[in-house]
Structure 1
């Protein structure tokens, strides 16, 4: 993605007609998830906040937390504890684009008393491309 990512975060780059992060947010809101915590780091924090605002444009409410350094997904989740306060959460990475809606699955997860985790996977013909 270089040289584009030399001047901006890859999640702010356009995919078709909108920034990649819009597609991720729409996956969440189309699945019935409207209270969204966005973990940001690096030099593009202000760009994200200016672009996304408080979430009203998406029919959502955004909260932001800052992650210093590359602490990974586990650290990012730990930074949200004071906001989510024991509620069930969904985690999606800013560069994961899904074609499907997960509304039924999200409702099933929310209503389940014995479901600790729900993982969405997609079979692809060339998994070696994805690590």
Structure 2
């Protein structure tokens, strides 16, 4: 991205970068960017995720209004062994995400 966009000035923007030295998972982005994020509300959206449906904008708005905690968007799939799969507790809260599990704990993929 740095090679493609540089500092962003050609787009009238300012970009800054932080490097993840080793692949330790997507969530590490929040650790690496902690000083930049500060106390702001933030979201991580991956470029290869496609969301659709009439109620998605309502769910997204509710997630943006959350004062604490997090929202994980999952989608019901027939074969969860091909995806990252969410495990839920008895109250329906996400407690883990497992990548391409042999024995999925749900059919909800992220």
2:41 is matched with which residue? Answer: 88
2:61 to 98, 101, 107: 107
**Using the alignment, how far apart are the partners of 1:120 and 1:86 within structure 2?**
22
CA distance in 2, matches of 1:52, 1:67: 18
Match of 1:98 among 43, 50, 75: 50
Q: Deviations over 1:40-65 (max 9, x none)?
A: xxxxxxxx2233453986x9864421
CA-CA distance at 1:116 after TM superposition: 1.2
TM-score by length of 1: 0.47
Unpaired runs of 5+ residues, structure 2, are: 84-99, 101-110
Per-residue deviation, residues 57-87 of structure 1 (Å, max 9, x unmatched)? 6x98644211112232343220111111021
Paired residue for 1:123? 76
Aligned to 1:12: none
Question: What is the distance in 2 between the residues matched to 1:100 and 1:56?
Answer: 32
CA distance in 2: counterparts of 1:60 and 1:98, whole angstroms? 26
Give 1 or 2 for the bigger CA radius of gyration: 2
Runs of 5+ unmatched residues, structure 1 = 1-47
Aligned Cα root-mean-square deviation (Å) = 3.1
The count of residues paired between Structure 1 and Structure 2 equals 81
* 1:107 partner SS: helix
Pick the structure with more helix per residue. Answer: 1
Higher relative contact order (CA 8 A, sep 6+): 1
